[in-house]
Amino acid sequence: MKSVSALWAIAPQDVAEQIAAAHRAAVKDALAWPERDAVRTRGGRNGVQQLDTTGMLAAAFEHRDSRAGGTAQRHRRGRACPVPNGAS
């Protein structure tokens, strides 16, 4: 949210660190659901089987300003892919 980003940008260091910690916790919680309940992969001939995975490999990159630059907008961009259980 923009208001949280604005507060983070002008807050004293200790408050900014608390906001950053809350943001990291929210990202962790948001990624837990798909890893546990939604991430699948395909296998078999023509990939018609839906297979469970052992989780996902994800990378997140923290950004502190908008894509256009100049305004505070704390957010993360990331990518994820499933980790298959083994050969199909």
Q: Which tens digit of pLDDT belongs to each residue from 27-64?
A: 889 888 888 888 888 888 998 988 888 888 888 888 77
| Percent of the chain whose predicted confidence (pLDDT) is above 70 | 94
Which tokens go with 29?
A: 């919680």
Integer Cα distance of 85 and 46 in angstroms: 18
Which residue range is the domain that position 76 belongs to?
Answer: 2-84
User: What string of DSSP letters covers 51-76?
Assistant: E-EEEEEEEEEEEEE-TTSSSEEEEE
Give the per-residue pLDDT at 17.
Answer: 92
Integer Cα distance of 57 and 79 in angstroms: 8
Give the per-residue pLDDT at 39.
Answer: 87
pLDDT band at 25 (very low <50, low <70, confident <90, very high): very high
Give the per-residue pLDDT at 58.
Answer: 85
Q: How many domains does the chain have?
A: 1
What does the pLDDT look like over 57-83, one tens digit per residue? 888 888 777 777 777 777 888 888 888
